[in-house]
Amino acid sequence: MAVTFTWQPRPDNRSEALHISLAAGSLTLSFAGRSNLSFDGEGRLIGAWYDGLTYRRSLDNRVLLKWLAEGKPPLRHRRFLSAEERDALLARVHADVRRVHDALHTGQLAAPDATPAFIAGLSAWLDAALRWDAESFERDAAAFCSIYKPISILPPDQYLAVVLQATEGCSYNQCSFCTFYRDRPFRIKRPAQFAEHIAQVRAFLGSGMAMRKSVFLADANAVVIAQRQLRPLLQIVNQHFSFEQPEVVDMPGTDQSIRWMPEGINAFISAPDALRKSPQNFAEMAELHVRRLYVGLETGHDALRRFLRKPGTAEDVLAALHAIKQGGLHVGLIFMAGIGGEDFRAAHFEDTVDLIQAAPLGPGDLIYTSPFVASADSPYLDDMRSAGYSSLDDVTQRQEEERFRAALSSWARRRGVRVSRYDVREFIY
């Protein structure tokens, strides 16, 4: 439910609108279109918008700042705040919440359509938000880090998932461009360990779980696990989460609750790993509420795949997509615009577009165009230098993204496939 209040927050006694939304397990405060704040059910700050700048806070208490710079087209910039900048932001948010809280309890907020239940829920939510300060955020971050290994990356539509680390790391971990999992060995949790992990995750998120839209089975390629091992892990997820009937999530400090049901289970899978499973294996996953598998195509050009140390061929990717789709699952297909630089530019474009348009994709499937960003410590850069290859400059990189989207847009519309941008630099969990 959303309600617009009027109040007088300024010294000049001018009234302005305060739009408040209690929906989907989150609280959003919008101050006359000048700033916005959002919180989960535990009162944790999730995001803020001040002075044209967007802030996203992670569960490990980092804050990503994003803004647009002038230009045609405008260029998006981003950076993580320093600890001092973060704490100043958190103090600013706390002060704004305090102003709303005090105005509510002194009768300075007016809204004829605000029901007693809405007021009670708002009051409890504001109380929850006010319990957070710099120290409590740090304690919360420490608790998060005791439960999880670093969550290195997720598909954009899964940024608000409940992440469950059935595995840690990547079973392959040799792609030259990827450094996400170099800090940990690949490990599969035993069923008892995984069940304990889920219990810890649920206790940590608390009522904040209600704003999470799905479940993501992590890390890099969790469903690489043999079916005899994967099946009991998926069954454990189904024991702890309801995918057919909403569960009741209680709100802190109140007798109110939210009905919540995640949309399903999602995970990454590589093409060679998918080929080790049958359509029947994927159908069994679907019966256990797996909804979508994300495949890192990266490129449809086999010579570039070999250069990137990416396992499997373009034909392997197509065969894997057919098997996944035959099993009744949706697909998220990810490729990187600009990878391989100028030397692979033409072949990467042609072969990648051809492969995607030959893929058995339809409604419910996703294609992500990811602008290639090379990590400074990745073997990829050494390989490029050794081969004498040249990377694309920023302008050409952006042009490649646009060229891919233009080539795929009409095909995607006909198929009912959604094409979106995926910038790994903006990931935060």
Across residues 260-281, what is the average pLDDT? 97
Q: What is the pTM of this model?
A: 0.95
pLDDT at 255 over 90: no
Pure H helices in 206-313:
227-240, 271-275, 279-287, 302-307
Tokens of 84: 């001092």
pLDDT score recorded for residue 164 = 98
pLDDT score recorded for residue 13 = 73
Name residues whose C-beta falls within 8 Å of residue 335's C-beta, 6 or more positions apart in sequence. Answer: 297, 298, 299, 300, 352, 356, 367, 368, 369, 370, 404
Burial (CB count <10 Å: 0-12, 13-18, 19+), residue 380: buried
> 112-162 pLDDT, tens per residue?
889 988 998 899 999 999 999 999 999 999 999 999 999 999 999 999 999
Tokens of 385: 């230098």
Please tell me the least confidently modeled range out of 49-63, 253-267, 334-348.
253-267
Confidence label for 73 from pLDDT (cuts 50, 70 and 90): low
All domains in the chain, ordered by first residue: 2-132 (no CATH), 148-426 (3.20.20.70)
How many angstroms separate the CA atoms of 34 and 361, rounded? 41
Three-state SS at 347: helix
Longest dimension (CA), the chain: 70
Q: What percent of the chain has pLDDT over 90?
A: 87
How many angstroms separate the CA atoms of 199 and 97, rounded? 31
Cβ(25)–Cβ(209) below 8 Å:
yes
pLDDT at 253 over 70: no
pLDDT at 252 over 70: no
> 352-407 pLDDT, tens per residue?
999 999 999 999 999 999 999 999 899 999 999 999 999 999 889 999 999 999 99
